[in-house]
Amino acid sequence: MSGYVTVDGIKVPIEGEKNLLALARKAGIDIPTFCYHSHLSTYGACRLCLVEINGKEIDASCVVPPKDGMSVRTNTARVRSMRRMNLELLLANHKQDCPTCERSASCKLRDLASKMGLRGSRFRRTREERPLDQGSPCLARDPNKCILCGDCVRYCAEIQGIGAIDFAHRGTGACVTPAFGKSLGEVDCVNCGQCAAICPTAAIVPRTHKDEVWAALDDPEAVVVAQVAPAARIAIGERFGLGSGEAASGRLATALRMLGFGRVYDTAFGADLTVVEEATEFLARAAAAKAGATVGGKLPLFTSCCPAWVKFAEQSFPELLPNLSTCMSPQSMVGSLLKEEAARAGGGEAGKRLVVVSIMPCTAKKYEIARPELSRNGERLVDYVLTTNELASMIQEAGLRFAELGSGPMDLPMGFSSGAGLAFGASGGVSEAVARYVAGGLPAGRPSALELAPLAGFESLPGSVRVGTLKAGESAVRIAVVQGLAAAKALVKAIREGRVEADLVEVMACPGGCVGGAGQPIELDPAKRAARTEGIARADGERAIRSTGDNPLVAEFYRSRLGCSPGGHRAHELLHTSYSSKRRIADTAIPLVVGTGAEKIPVKVCVGTSCFLRGSQALLAELIKRVEAEGLAELVDVSATFCSESCDRGPTVQVGGTAIHKATPELALAQLRAALAKAPAGATAGA
């Protein structure tokens, strides 16, 4: 489409824009909107981006495609009046606790009300107060602040391919909620937190550990140490007037010590350890595969640094778990080594308890530290996670002028990393770091060991898939890098079907990788997010040591602290973990055939994603048909459940507490008849 559209008297050329909203913005006119995001489907629900078209009709500019010769007015009296009324209606049903709201400084609703000069709403509240959802370890949901813009719904479904939250009910009862009205902690949410990052109000926000960390810092019997992720130091300055992507490692170390942290470590050192262990694991698997061994691990090897991706794999691809690297994330590696050192010494400094706090860009890290696999003797390897935003709030609360602080060092040995360790903060960084290690470092002046290009056929995905090949000696390692879980799902399918070949796959749930984590300062401008990625690349390039293999502190750590070579027994004890199939929706059964007998036999058919793909829906329908045909309906409770925790052996049916894997109607009925035969006589009367 070419031509021109006249917007408020300005002739604006059509150059591929999909809607009038984009054209108006190109003309320098900021039309207000809640529900429009260029990377999501157009929705047109908030009705704030209204414009007058050709002097007649009024429509939402986000859904109207431009046509040559159109005349658009964005600021007429009619348009302003309708926008103000729509905004007043939103305010009427919105919980107005602005002074104490967590999103007070970044609330889009408050910002637009101020810009439009609103001082209140003429309309009464029509929705009843709803309870808070505090069931997730990572996210808190307040439905009373939801304006039904649908941003979280579309992001979860379109970018992450999960759909853990959606619209329910009608009229004044309409709401956004997880399935069956459950908590986010009980459904298949992977804790990526992008719903909170995109929410224009505070209907969904990250859970906070600030109070617990303040209490630990005030405890005279505790030594509190911090570890700082690469992406956090690149973004925290945005909260204090520094530019996007400006590294603030030194200021951050100073601020943490002023807050009371005893020591400050670099999570990028843990990333260096991850590189060594993951590369060693990959090379061992590759050698086993080349030799035709049936044991030794499967290829492709999928990275395991992103806890949202790991949970997604456990829920949606349990059969893929043998392909996941057994390496802990860098955060957990640092926590494991610190806790092991404290245990060996009989406690922290002077016998005090050691409290490990991670400064992370990610909300899913809060879930990760609570995993039972990442505890030792009942104690978590990492005690608390503060997001970048949480730490910035603590710095502000303490009255520290962050931008004016001097630069302080991090504590050795876990305070120094290679550039490869820092590269973990952006998508592609893990693969790049492993590539440098496998390739034996970087030749002088070479910025990268791995060149990545978009993967053909995946351009339309709401995410990014890039591929590259690493030449290592006589071998060629095929590497795929993906961000966004919907794109990851499509890539996994393509690999399974043989349409894509890969040896090593890096998956990050968030846009741009960790720099776009939901714990970062809220920033939806792609250019500013890109500046964070550039900041990571700059920090990497400025390091004197670019490859993990050249970091002398890593080699010394293996020698003196671990007492083994990479991949050795002690390294596996302290730096590796395991994964298992996870429940998608907790404790949910949908009754389909409800018996009336005194001793009813429960029959539960799993219809979760994995079992569904293996035919459980057809199995359920056939089972109900046969139960009714044989006159057993009064004696049996048949229900659909959402997980049997045996996703790799589905479809699964439970009959009276006995699980049948790879079930058929015949196997299920045979078990049911056996259970009925053992039931009390009164229960089977009339059968």
Told to judge if 128 belongs to the known catalytic residues of this protein, a careful annotator would answer no
Q: What is the CATH number of domain 4-75?
A: 3.10.20.740
Q: Are 606 and 643 in contact (CB under 8 A)?
A: yes
**What are the structural domain ranges in the chain?**
4-75, 91-206, 211-575, 589-684
What pLDDT does 2 receive?
78
Told to judge if 332 belongs to the known catalytic residues of this protein, a careful annotator would answer no
What fold is seen in the domain 211-575? Rossmann fold (3.40.50)
Q: Are 562 and 571 in contact (CB under 8 A)?
A: yes
**How far, in Å, CA of 91 to CA of 295, rounded?**
61
Q: Which two tokens stand for residue 216?
A: 């630990």
What pLDDT does 684 receive?
44
What pLDDT does 687 receive?
38
Give this prediction's pTM.
0.83
Which residues fall within 8 angstroms of residue 116, CB to CB, at 6 or more apart?
A: 32, 80, 83, 84, 87
Told to judge if 305 belongs to the known catalytic residues of this protein, a careful annotator would answer yes
**How far, in Å, CA of 523 to CA of 457, rounded?**
29
Q: What is the CATH number of domain 589-684?
A: 3.40.30.10
**How far, in Å, CA of 236 to CA of 248, rounded?**
7
CATH architecture of 91-206: 2-Layer Sandwich (3.30)
Residue ranges for the chain with pLDDT beneath 70: 1, 293-297, 345-350, 441-446, 583-599, 643-646, 679-687
3-state helix, strand, coil in the chain (%, to 5): 40, 15, 40
Q: Which two tokens stand for residue 58?
A: 């009024």
Told to judge if 506 belongs to the known catalytic residues of this protein, a careful annotator would answer no
**How far, in Å, CA of 335 to CA of 267, rounded?**
9
The one catalytic residue among 373, 501, 630, 666: 373
**How far, in Å, CA of 195 to CA of 150, rounded?**
10
**How far, in Å, CA of 366 to CA of 386, rounded?**
8
The one catalytic residue among 61, 325, 610, 616: 325
The one catalytic residue among 182, 311, 365, 489: 365
The one catalytic residue among 281, 314, 432, 506: 281
Comparing C-alpha atoms, which of 465, 246, 425, 235 is closest to residue 330? 425
Told to judge if 599 belongs to the known catalytic residues of this protein, a careful annotator would answer no
Told to judge if 365 belongs to the known catalytic residues of this protein, a careful annotator would answer yes
Dump pLDDT digits (tens) for 560-588. Answer: 888 899 999 999 999 999 998 876 666 55
Q: Which amino acid is at 564?
A: C
Told to judge if 325 belongs to the known catalytic residues of this protein, a careful annotator would answer yes
